[in-house]
Structure 1
Amino acid sequence: MATNTGQMGFLPSGGAIFCTIPDILYLPELIFGGLTLALVASTYLIPYNPQAYVISVTIFCFIVSFFWLMVFACGSHRNKSSWASADVAYHGFATVLYPSASVLLALVTIGIAQIQTETTLIYQLDVAAVVFSFLTTLLYFIHTIFSAIRWKSF
């Protein structure tokens, strides 16, 4: 019997990935992560180190999430529990990376608000990037929890 987290011991493939809770989160993760990347990249990268870290994290997570989406969509995983454990490991890693990038981005945004030498458009773009970054963090966290539940069912 199918549950909200997919069938027990079953990794979906093809169009079925859009019907299970942990796998349906790939698209919002890609959308919000891409928006975060676009918003951060469209502002000035000052200070360089925190902004470069944020861009590196968003690019890494975007590429790997897209890779996982393609693996599950193409059925390359063939229902092996090692893929389920790798899915949990990756999303757990992304859940650690994204909050660190989100906090750094929020600190940079607060710094920009205090300086106010540039136009307010940069500040507004950074605020939007912070919001999308924390939403992406939440999506990765939820995906990790439901992937762990699925992994335990193997």
Structure 2
Amino acid sequence: MTYVERQKFDEEEDDGSEIYVYTMAFSDYCRLCCIEKVFGGLVWILVASTYVTENNPQGWVMFVSVFCFVMTFLWLIIFACGGHKNSSAWATADFIYHLIAVMFYLSASVILAYVTIGMKTLTSAQFPVYPFKYYQIDIAAVVFSYIATLLYFIHCILSAVRWKSF
């Protein structure tokens, strides 16, 4: 089953013309949302388990990962309960939310990568300021953050295809 399915609706008059509407396959939507939640949750957990100094911009990374985790969960519940009623307004909202999530996650990923590169010098010194374990955890968080960005980007593209079909 594909993410976007093509369904044929006949008009009330049987004049031979057909209307095609693209709808999401719900199981694929759930799978993609759950995978986004898994990788977003991993970013959240990994960044929360490291040492964050006061002037460290990892607070933005935490905000983005928690915000997207909660919003994706709420979005999934709305779609699971049928609250969207397959309307074009919800398709537009789905596209806009995932576009915002992509921009947030991309900015957070770049910031996290920058902080991690800076942390390398503080862990490789003769008297390290941070334990090497924190550096390794931050590397994993950067990788998962970019994967989450990619997943939200894919979801944004598929939502745009669905939105344009209305």
Structure 1 length normalisation: TM-score?
0.89
Corresponding position: 1:124 with 2:136: yes
| Deviation of 1:5 (Å) | 1.4
- Report which stretch shifted further, 87-96 or 71-80: 71-80
| Deviation of 1:10 (Å) | 5.2
Of residues 141, 148, 151, the one that matches 2:160 is 148
Higher radius of gyration, 1 or 2: 2
- Confirm or deny: 8 A CA contact 1:6 1:150 kept in the other structure: no
- Matched residue count: 148
Q: Which amino acid aligns with 1:109?
A: T
Gaps of at least 5 residues in structure 1 are none
Q: Which has the higher strand share?
A: 2
**Cα distance in 2 between the residues matched to 1:75 and 1:83:** 11
- Report which stretch shifted further, 114-123 or 26-35: 114-123
- CA gap of 1:136–1:3, structure 2 versus 1, over 3 A, is closer
Of residues 92, 95, 104, the one that matches 1:85 is 92
| Deviation of 1:18 (Å) | 1.4
Q: Please name the residue that 1:98 is paired with.
A: 105
- Report which stretch shifted further, 135-144 or 22-31: 22-31
Corresponding position: 1:134 with 2:146: yes
Greater relative CO, 1 or 2 (CA 8 Å, sep 6+): 1
Helix, strand or coil at the partner of 1:7: strand
Corresponding position: 1:17 with 2:26: yes
- Confirm or deny: 8 A CA contact 2:4 2:23 kept in the other structure: no
Q: Which amino acid aligns with 1:150?
A: R
Say what the alpha-carbon RMSD is for the aligned residues.
1.7
Corresponding position: 1:67 with 2:74: yes
- CA gap of 1:112–1:104, structure 2 versus 1, over 3 A, is same
Q: Which has the higher helix share?
A: 1
- CA gap of 1:37–1:48, structure 2 versus 1, over 3 A, is farther
**Cα distance in 2 between the residues matched to 1:28 and 1:115:** 33
Gaps of at least 5 residues in structure 2 are 8-20
**Cα distance in 1 between the residues matched to 2:30 and 2:160:** 12
- Confirm or deny: 8 A CA contact 1:25 1:143 kept in the other structure: yes
Q: Which amino acid aligns with 1:119?
A: P
Helix, strand or coil at the partner of 1:36: helix
Helix, strand or coil at the partner of 2:50: coil
Q: Which runs of 4+ in 1 moved over 4 A?
A: none
Of residues 42, 45, 48, the one that matches 1:38 is 45
Identity %: 50
